[in-house]
Amino acid sequence: MATEFHNLQELRHSASLANKVFIQRDYTDGTICKFQTKFPSELDSRIERTLFEDTVKTLNNYYAEAEKIGGQSYLEGCLACLTVYLIFLCIETRYEKVLKKISRYIQEQNEKIYAPRGLLITDPLERGMRVIEISVYEDRGSSGSSSGSSTTSSSGR
Amino acid sequence: MSAVMISRKVTRKWEKLPGKNTFCCDGRVMMARQKGVFYLTLFLIIGTCSLFFAFECPYLAVHLSPAIPVFAVLLFVFVMAMLLRTSFSDPGVLPRALPEEANFIEMEIEAANGNVLAGQRPPPRIKNVQINNQIVKLKYCYTCKIFRPPRASHCSICDNCVDRFDHHCPWVGNCVGKRNYRYFYLFTLSLSLLTIYIFAFDIVHVVLRSVDSGFVNTIKETPGTVLEVLVCFFTLWSVVGLTGFHTYLISLNQTTNEDIKGSWSGKNRVQNPYSHKNIFKNCCEVLCGPAYPSVLDRRGVMLEDLSSPAPSDASSTNKSSNPVSQTTKSSAPLIPNEHTPDEAKPGIGAGTQKSASSPKDEKPPSPTSPNAVTPGVIKESAH
Q: DSSP of B268-333, one letter per residue?
A: GG---TT--S-HHHHHHHHHHS--PPPSS-TT-B--TT--PPPPP-TTS-TTTT--S-TT--SSPP
Task: Identify how many contiguous H helices and E strands chain A contains and give both numbers.
Answer: 4, 3
Please tell me the predicted confidence (pLDDT) of residue B264: 80
Classify residue B12 by its DSSP letter. Answer: B
Q: Do B340 and B308 form a contact (C-beta atoms < 8 A)?
A: no
Mean of the per-residue pLDDT values for chain A?
81
Q: Does A66 have pLDDT greater than 50? A: yes
Residues of chain B contacting residue A129, judged by C-beta atoms under 8 Å apart: 295
H/E/C letters for each residue in A32-94? CCCECCCCCHHHCCCCCHHHHHHHHHHHHHHHHHHCCCCHHHHHHHHHHHHCCCHHHHCCCCH
Check CB contact of B164 with chain A, cutoff 8 Å.
Answer: yes
Nearest CB to A77 within list B77, B101, B288: B288
Dihedral class, residue B173 (left if φ above 0, else alpha if ψ from -120 to 50, else beta): left
What single letter denotes the amino acid at residue B209?
R
Q: Does A8 have pLDDT greater than 90? A: no
CA–CA separation, B345 vs B317, rounded Å?
11
CA–CA separation, B290 vs B303, rounded Å?
33
* Contact criterion met (CB < 8 Å) for B149 and A130: yes
Phi, psi dihedrals of residue B381, rounded to the nearest 5°: -65, 150
Please tell me the predicted confidence (pLDDT) of residue B19: 85
Q: How far is CA A11 from CA A17, A104, B292, B334, B341, in A?
A: 10, 20, 35, 11, 21
Please tell me the predicted confidence (pLDDT) of residue A87: 87
CA–CA separation, B66 vs B64, rounded Å?
7
Residues of chain A contacting residue B149, judged by C-beta atoms under 8 Å apart: 25, 27, 31, 130
* Contact criterion met (CB < 8 Å) for B349 and A29: no
Please tell me the predicted confidence (pLDDT) of residue A31: 87
* Contact criterion met (CB < 8 Å) for B317 and A125: yes
Query: What is the set of active-site residues of B?
Result: 169
Q: Do B140 and B146 form a contact (C-beta atoms < 8 A)?
A: yes
Q: Do A133 and A127 form a contact (C-beta atoms < 8 A)?
A: yes
Q: Does A141 have pLDDT greater than 80? A: no
In a mutational test of the A interface, the residue from B89, B104, B186 whose CB has the highest number of chain A CBs within 10 Å is B104
CA–CA separation, B31 vs B24, rounded Å?
8
Give the side-chain half-sphere CA count within 13 A for B111. Answer: 9
Residues of chain B contacting residue A88, judged by C-beta atoms under 8 Å apart: 291, 314-315
CA torsion through residues A115, A120, A121, A123, sign: positive
* Contact criterion met (CB < 8 Å) for B129 and A27: yes
* Contact criterion met (CB < 8 Å) for B129 and A77: no
Please tell me the predicted confidence (pLDDT) of residue A151: 42
In a mutational test of the A interface, the residue from B84, B348, B374 whose CB has the highest number of chain A CBs within 10 Å is B348
For residue B184, the surrounding DSSP H or E stretch is helix B181-213
Distance from CA of A151 to the nearest CA of B (A): 18
- Residues of B numbered 110-139 whose beta carbons fall under 8 angstroms of chain A's beta carbons: which are they? 129-132, 136, 138
Please tell me the predicted confidence (pLDDT) of residue B1: 56
Dihedral class, residue B268 (left if φ above 0, else alpha if ψ from -120 to 50, else beta): left
Distance from CA of A58 to the nearest CA of B (A): 17
Residues of chain B contacting residue A72, judged by C-beta atoms under 8 Å apart: none
* Contact criterion met (CB < 8 Å) for A27 and B149: yes
Residues of chain B predicted below pLDDT 50: 305-336, 338, 340, 343-383
Distance from CA of A38 to the nearest CA of B (A): 15
Q: How far is CA B6 from CA B124, B338, B354, in A?
A: 49, 20, 11
* Contact criterion met (CB < 8 Å) for A69 and B289: yes
Classify residue A128 by its DSSP letter. Answer: T
In a mutational test of the B interface, the residue from A41, A55, A125 whose CB has the highest number of chain B CBs within 10 Å is A125
B72's CB contacts (< 8 A; 6+ apart) are: B49, B52, B53, B57, B194, B197, B198, B201
Please tell me the predicted confidence (pLDDT) of residue B3: 59
Dihedral class, residue B276 (left if φ above 0, else alpha if ψ from -120 to 50, else beta): alpha
* Contact criterion met (CB < 8 Å) for B164 and A68: no
Of the listed ranges A59-63, A95-99, B99-103, B310-314, the least confidently predicted one is B310-314
Tell me which residue of B276, B272, B299, B277 sits closest to B289, measured CA to CA. B276
Q: Do B46 and B333 form a contact (C-beta atoms < 8 A)?
A: no
* Contact criterion met (CB < 8 Å) for A28 and B347: no
Nearest CB to A107 within list B314, B322, B347: B347
**Burial readout B347-372 (b: 16 or more C-beta within 10 A, e: otherwise):** bbbbbbbeebbeebeeeeeebeebee
What is the C-alpha radius of gyration for chain A, rounded to an integer number of angstroms? Answer: 19
* Contact criterion met (CB < 8 Å) for A28 and B78: no
Nearest CB to B274 within list A9, A31, A104: A31
CA–CA separation, B67 vs B90, rounded Å?
36
Nearest CB to A84 within list B81, B332, B335: B81
- Residues of B numbered 353-372 whose beta carbons fall under 8 angstroms of chain A's beta carbons: which are they? 356
pLDDT above 90: percentage of residues in chain A: 39
For residue A125, the chain B residue with the least C-alpha distance is B295
Check CB contact of B337 with chain A, cutoff 8 Å.
Answer: yes
What number is the average pLDDT over the span A139-157?
46
Classify residue A114 by its DSSP letter. Answer: I
The more confidently predicted of residues A21 and B3 is: A21
Q: How far is CA B61 from CA B54, B72, B205, B321, B357, in A?
A: 12, 11, 11, 52, 66
Q: Do A22 and A132 form a contact (C-beta atoms < 8 A)?
A: yes
- Residues of B numbered 81-110 whose beta carbons fall under 8 angstroms of chain A's beta carbons: which are they? 81-82, 85, 94-95, 97-98, 100-101, 104-105, 107
Q: Do B373 and B357 form a contact (C-beta atoms < 8 A)?
A: no
Nearest CB to B290 within list A94, A120, A133: A94
CA–CA separation, A24 vs A54, rounded Å?
16
